[in-house]
């Protein structure tokens, strides 16, 4: 007979005694806990206490893996494109100071032959910044897509966007409660690992290497179909590379250890600093920068940053051997106009024929 673990019991008996004395949940306890989080039936006070307690003690990989598997079993509706894309698992709470360059980088990668998937919501607790959907909306790209339409977008364009309310409704239903809490929780982490396209490669970002290690260990513990993870130090914690010094961590299935290496943007010929990427109106300016870089109208720090971010997408899928080779390839597809063509194709994508099923 299955032992029952309510959120209140998990708080009382396992993890609610404070950051130093709390215990990690077992796989079964964490699975039951997150199933109750997703059910929408938990008392709001108990739900908030559970999520905060898990944050303060630091979620263990076995807990996060259980959360991810419960989420994908209960809530996530996947649709796999025929292509084998890189899943860009950016933090959904977005950016608030510097341009969001993931759309531009994804389209450059697509033009270079590396399909890319991005996913986000339109309301983004707790930071409330600019996310993928906001930039795509500014560009006039359809975003309110069924997962099947998103998969078709990947196959037609090479870049696809999955919209959280459509593919992960139970997590999306938590937005009001998460926003009321005012801080990030483990939900912010696991939603980036939803992998709605069933991609085999995950690209993510981190502030500290220990977080990258925890995410890679989570992937290894989970039932995700991911066989390769590449993570880098992201600007504002997003999947845009930080100018200057950046550490990159990578793991491929079969590897016993996680490896890491360093990128210095100056060594790539890029005179690039954080302030060079600052914008005032995040969605509108990010869209404008995207258009101008892909059209070959910019040769400044934005163009360098887009090339570097595209290079990491190529490198993550092992379509190039080095980041340097990826930067060169990215610059080539911008110069020849195929990246601008990819943006035109994305804008022209018509979901009507696939929204009712594919």
Per residue in 68-124, pLDDT (tens digit) is 999 999 999 999 999 999 999 999 888 999 999 999 999 999 999 999 999 999 877
Please list, residue by residue across 73-110, b when 16 or more beta carbons sit within 10 angstroms of its beta carbon and e when fewer do: eebbebbbbebebbbbbbbbbbbeebbbbbbbbbbbbb
Average pLDDT over residues 249-260: 96
- Closest by CA position to 39, among listed 169, 166, 180, 181: 169
Reported as a single tens digit per residue, the pLDDT across 39-67 is 999 999 999 999 999 999 999 999 999 99
Residues whose CB is less than 8 angstroms from the CB of residue 4 and which lie 6 or more positions away in sequence, other chains included: 32
What whole-number distance in Å separates Cα of residue 55 and Cα of residue 38? Answer: 17
Does residue 355 carry a pLDDT above 70? Answer: no
Please list, residue by residue across 115-140, b when 16 or more beta carbons sit within 10 angstroms of its beta carbon and e when fewer do: bbbbbbbbbbbebebbbbbbbbebbe
Q: What is the pLDDT of residue 356?
A: 52
What whole-number distance in Å separates Cα of residue 33 and Cα of residue 53? Answer: 12
Q: Output 163 or 355, whichever has higher pLDDT.
A: 163
Q: Are strands 245-252 and 228-233 parallel, antiparallel or unpaired?
A: antiparallel
Q: What are the structure tokens assigned to 229, written together?
A: 């993870």
- Closest by CA position to 70, among listed 42, 41, 28: 28
> pTM of the predicted model, to two decimals?
0.95
Does residue 357 carry a pLDDT above 80? Answer: no
- Spatial contact of 59 and 210, defined as CB atoms under 8 Å apart: no
Query: What residue ranges define each of the domains in the chain, with the CATH number in brackets?
Result: 7-58 (no CATH), 86-348 (3.40.1030.10)
């Amino acid at each position: 007979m299955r032992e029952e673990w309510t959120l209140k019991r998990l708080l009382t008996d396992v993890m609610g005694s404070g950051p130093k004395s709390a215990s990690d949940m077992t796989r079964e306890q964490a699975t039951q806990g997150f199933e109750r989080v997703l059910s929408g039936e938990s008392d709001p006070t108990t739900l908030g206490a559970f999520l905060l307690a898990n944050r303060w003690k630091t979620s263990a990989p076995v807990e996060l893996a259980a959360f991810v598997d419960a989420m994908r079993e209960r809530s996530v509706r996947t649709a796999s494109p025929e292509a084998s894309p890189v899943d860009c698992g950016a933090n959904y709470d977005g950016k608030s100071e510097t341009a969001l360059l993931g759309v531009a980088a994804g389209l450059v990668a697509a033009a270079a032959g590396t399909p890319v998937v991005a996913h986000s919501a339109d309301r983004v607790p707790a930071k409330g910044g600019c996310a993928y959907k906001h930039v795509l909306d500014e560009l006039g790209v359809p975003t309110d897509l069924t997962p099947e339409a998103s998969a078709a977008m990947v196959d037609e364009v090479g870049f696809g966007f999955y919209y959280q309310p459509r593919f992960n409704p139970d997590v999306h239903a938590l937005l009001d409660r998460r926003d009321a809490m005012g801080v990030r929780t483990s939900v912010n982490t696991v939603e980036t690992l939803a992998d709605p396209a069933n991609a085999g490669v995950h690209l993510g970002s981190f502030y500290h290497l220990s977080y990258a290690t925890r995410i890679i260990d989570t992937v290894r513990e989970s039932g995700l179909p991911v066989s390769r993870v590449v993570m880098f130090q992201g600007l504002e914690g997003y999947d845009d590379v930080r100018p200057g010094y950046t550490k990159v961590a990578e793991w491929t299935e079969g590897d016993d250890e996680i490896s890491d290496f360093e990128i210095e943007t100056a060594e790539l010929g890029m005179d690039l600093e954080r302030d060079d990427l600052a914008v005032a109106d995040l969605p509108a300016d990010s869209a404008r920068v995207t258009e101008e870089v892909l059209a070959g109208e910019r040769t400044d720090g934005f163009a360098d940053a887009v090339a570097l971010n595209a290079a990491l997408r190529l490198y993550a899928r092992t379509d190039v051997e080095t980041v340097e080779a990826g930067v060169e390839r990215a610059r080539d597809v911008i110069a020849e106009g195929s990246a601008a063509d990819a943006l035109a194709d994305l804008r022209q994508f018509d979901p009507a024929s696939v929204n009712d099923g594919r």
